[in-house]
A and B are shown apart, each in its own frame.
Chain A
Amino acid sequence: MTATVSITHQTSLERTKLIRASLTRRNLSEKIFRGLGLTAVVLALGFVALLFIDVGRKGIPAFVQSNLHLSVTFDPAIVGGEVPPVQVAGQSDADFQAANLKWQRSVAMLNWNKVIEASLRTLVPAGIEISSKDLLTIAETDARHEVRERFVADHSLLGKTVDIDVLASANAANWIKGNIDRSLPDNQQQLSAPTRAVIDSMVANGAISNGFSWSILTNVDSRSAPASAGLLGAFVGTLYMMLIVIVLAVPIGVASAIYLEEFAPKSRLTDFIEVNINNLAAVPSIVFGLLGAAAFINYMHLPISAPIVGGLVLTLMTLPTIIIATRGALLGVSPALRQAALGMGASKTQMVFHHVLPVTFPSILTATILGVAHALGETAPLLLIGMKAFVASVPATPFDQATALPVQIYLWQGNENRNFFEPRTAAAIIVLLLVMICLNGVAIYLRSRLEKRA
């Protein structure tokens, strides 16, 4: 035997040695790959955790609001003025409405700040000198609307004293929550020294208390009253868009995918369509915004900054995703099932609707929900169709002006008032993430349920 061994002359011992040597190499490369994979997963999870911790730390305090419990006296000297009209016999409804509106306008002109100031004044402890202007900074600027609305609703309150809860101003709330360094000198404080003293005494005697901030969920956006700015308008806008996307994108997308995959003849045209759909899925979302502005607003004259246009744009954006996912799911159905159906004499349509679709339904559903969720998180296309306007109302229909949750985040983040961009932005992000988690949760739940049933 020579020094070089050919395979056939190897002893089993030599072979074992060679195998062991190669085994070490293989095991090492497997270890390296596993290590890299694990590192990637840990890094990814770490960043997600960091995001959640950061957003939570900043946003959760925004879900606490400081409520100011006031005893408001509707002093006839301030709010006396005109009495509300009473419908007399022979007066038409329209006339009465006009008279009533006139009265409401006159009530709106009254100096409600004076009423609030008087109420706040009763809570100022003896020995503190505080100006009217400083005193009013304790209550949020929309407090006067709340007091006024009480009066409009019940004119018999004139001369009476009632308890009304209003929001403390954002500055006051930040002072109470300890978000502001108490050791800063007066000239760096948002609130004057007597105001801070009054606030502290109000907290001590229970005139101000903290509670869960329903206002962030039930109020619309505001520019002047940061503490009362809420997400309801944006939430409803997002909801309308979601409905439009579900109603349009899901049936159109699933139907196109079924047609292309099951019925369309394989030709150059269908190849061309397929390539284009795949390309559309990769088009930047902002381009869809431009398309929406050009097609739906300039050409079709749909209203600007309305959820209907936003929904249509997001539909266009989601369609390729849904089509591709559905085709993928259809492609995955085993040929045996198709043959079984066709062999029984089922028509192609019956094969698709009786057998193929029920099997693929869970994956189509999941893909669809994820596509819709992805669309609802989009901001860029909505900016281009005017949905970044300040809208301080809840849209009654999809044709009314509205904004959307991600755009609301963008708007608050861009606001120069730190009371907006600090806690409100993070709070809005939490709400948006919760909506997304809910949608994904529904997708996971439906999927597991349908798969169990199948």
Chain B
Amino acid sequence: MDMVAGKVKMTQQSVNSTMNPIDALERPIRLTARDVTVHYGAKQALHGISIDIPDRAVTSFIGPSGCGKSTFLRCINRMNDTIEGAKVGGTIKLDGDDIYDPNLDVVELRARIGMVFQKPNPFPKSIYENVAYGPKIHGLARSKTDMDEIVVSSLRKAGLFEEVKDRLNEPGTGLSGGQQQRLCIARAIAVGPEVILMDEPCSALDPIATAIIEELIDELRENYTIVIVTHSMQQAARVSQRTAFFHLGNLIEEGVTEDIFTNPEHKQTQDYIMGRIG
């Protein structure tokens, strides 16, 4: 790993008592974004975003619809590459390596930075195949036993194994919405990523499924750097250690979650949190 650019301050979470308290107050920086801009054709969607994202913690992006939070998230694993007419400027570094380096293979990048989408989107294949797909295309399993192990441990980490262990060969699309989303998380974990991006992972789920996913996110942060985009301020407050507030393509402010929610520096942040912009 390259030299990290610095350390980021953290606070302990006290919102949900079942969640593990974070042990250290300072974390090394994993992702560094400097002056990131995105244009969709003539329209500018992001105006120079600069942010540091800490290792093995949850960073949440909040803000009203169309504020650019999802656009910025999709810059981090270069999913914007797939959109016709999208142009990304500025630099984003993962452990000091520029992810927009022309010599960097986007396939390798996406193996290191996994993604979970807004709507659960399991492949129309069996549960087993869903989880095994990533390791298979990246050549991570040397044998069938290896693969079985990866699948089982990924499903376990996603908290889904007990529910599906008897029907691994049934289609993943037959699961409930919350289970499907956990399957998508298991699928992302199976590749062994360092960073997991989540784009409003609970917006299509009911409150119970949402609570399960949130608990899972809290467990996962022990091993993974997580960036989550959310519409729900309560969710940001519950699961994240750091929060960034976006508005109209600008990063208005970011910092320790508790500070953002209790003592924001900017009036716009205050207004949004109070429900005055929406």
Contact = CB atoms under 8 A, between A and B. Distances in A.
Check if A and B associate: yes
Interface of A: 266, 334, 336-347, 350, 354-355, 358-359, 454
7 contacts: A337-B124, A339-B82, A342-B79, A343-B114, A344-B114, A345-B107, A345-B110
A99 to B, nearest CB: 69
Contacts of B77: 343
Contact of A359 (B124, B137, B188): B124
B121 A345 contact: no
Q: Is the interface of A mostly helix, strand, loop or mixed?
A: helix
Contacts of B191: 344-345
Interface in B102-137: 107-111, 114-115, 117, 119, 121-124, 133-134, 137
A17 to B, nearest CB: 40
Contact of B117 (A343, A346, A355, A359): A343
A336 B119 contact: yes
Contacts, number: 58
Contacts of A358: 124
Contacts of A359: 124
B137 A350 contact: yes
Nearest to B197: A343
Interface of B: 77, 79, 82, 84, 107-111, 114-115, 117, 119, 121-124, 133-134, 137-138, 184, 187-188, 191
A346 B114 CA distance: 12
Contact of A339 (B108, B114, B117, B188): B117
Given A336-B117, A339-B82, A340-B184, A345 B123 contact: no
A354 B77 CA distance: 21
Contacts of B107: 345-347
A292 B191 CA distance: 53
Contacts of A350: 137
B137 A344 contact: yes
Contacts of A343: 77, 79, 110, 114-115, 117, 188
Contacts of A339: 79, 82, 117, 121
A340 B123 contact: yes
A153 to B, nearest CB: 61
B29 to A, nearest CB: 24
Cβ-closest 6 pairs across A and B? A345-B110, A343-B115, A336-B121, A340-B121, A345-B111, A344-B134
A266 B122 CA distance: 29
Given A339-B79, A342-B110, 8 more contacts: A339-B117, A341-B123, A342-B82, A344-B114, A344-B134, A345-B107, A354-B137, A359-B124
Given A345-B107, A454-B124, A338 B82 contact: yes
B123 A337 contact: yes
Nearest to A350: B137
Nearest to B108: A345
Contacts of A454: 124
A355 B187 CA distance: 15
Contacts of A347: 107, 137
A337 B121 CA distance: 6
B207 to A, nearest CB: 23
A292 B100 CA distance: 51
Nearest to B110: A345
Contacts of A355: 123
A276 to B, nearest CB: 22
A294 to B, nearest CB: 40
Given A345-B107, A345-B110, A340 B134 contact: no
A39 B84 CA distance: 46
Most buried by A among B77, B123, B134, B187: B123
A358 B123 CA distance: 11
A354 B134 CA distance: 12
Contacts of A341: 123
Contacts of B138: 345
A345 B82 contact: no
A344 B117 contact: no
Contacts of A345: 107-111, 134, 137-138, 191
A350 B111 CA distance: 14
A341 B130 CA distance: 10
A334 B124 CA distance: 12
A432 B266 CA distance: 78
Contacts of B82: 338-339, 342
